[in-house]
Structure 1
Amino acid sequence: MERREEILNYITHRPGITFRELARALGLGIGDLQYHLRVLEREGKVFSRKLGKRRYIFPAGFEGEYEKLVIAISTESRRRILLLLMEGSKSQSEIANAIGISQPTVSYHMGELKKLGTVRDRREGKKVVYSLSHDPELIARIIQNYRPGIWETLADRLIDLLTSIGDGND
């Protein structure tokens, strides 16, 4: 029972956490976690959604549009893509070049983001251009509230960048 309360508390503070992330974070075996999650789901305290090969776990009452957005920001590559699209529409090659991943990987993530209704695409000649389906401020708020570690990472990168610029000017 105590273990289940720990699991529920963790999910409540990190809605949309993946099954594997939860198992790692709490140091639980797969079978042990599956058992406790089945009990919590039967009691109506949590629910899960599957997208691709990942299972995302939410506390009860979290259903709705935020659910899809939290899933959309659950991986670093998708967060980086969404942050890039906050600047404006981009083609697949622009996204790949900007964040340093292959075009097939971008295509995969864009397919997942389209399924979630987070991005939309349009043809411009031979290329496909992607844009956000949601207000950028809403996406930023979701990232800040549900994946706060990203802001720390971005702040660290900014500090490193400013420090390197400062070092070069001396």
Structure 2
Amino acid sequence: MAEVLVGRIGRPHGIRGEVTVEVRTDDPQARFAAGSVLFTDPAAAGPLRVEGSRMSGQIRLVAFAGVSDRDGAEALRGLRLLVDTDDLPQSQDPDEYYDHQLIGLTVRDRSGAVLGEITDVLHPPAAPVLQVGTEAGEVLVPFVAAIVPEVDVAGGFCVVDPPEGMFSPQADPDDAPDAADPG
């Protein structure tokens, strides 16, 4: 069974067993709906069944079956919440991907030269960003069609058309010649 992260339990909220959850899914209403069962990392702590979920401002609060007080909620702190990838709905949009589908893809340029491998997908406020491991280190690539024109999950690769210098090793300032040194 392959699993994907949908959230991480934070601190307890109140005295009735609710916890804050750092949401890591684009469909929190479905993932944290009453009755949903979530696997945990570490696995011995779960699975957990959602009793209820609500928003408090910008914070998602979740209540789990069998957790009725602050001590029980505190025991869950730090758990990673997971779902089986087979339970995820298939997207009708051919240009929409789950993070786990992208991680591990080989990154090539338009000529077919291998640039690296996707090691993570980050989600800052603007657009997703692919973290690409290269021989020279990590490179962050905005996941937009202008820069990533092709993704072939079945083929195990994606094509990037990076701006000049994106995959060039950065010069180390300590290696630059000293302007005062004539030689």
State TM-score, norm by structure 2: 0.29
State TM-score, norm by structure 1: 0.30
Going by fraction, where is strand more abundant, 1 or 2?
2
Which is bigger in relative contact order (C-alpha 8 A, separation at least 6)?
A: 1
Higher alpha-carbon Rg: 2
Going by fraction, where is helix more abundant, 1 or 2?
1
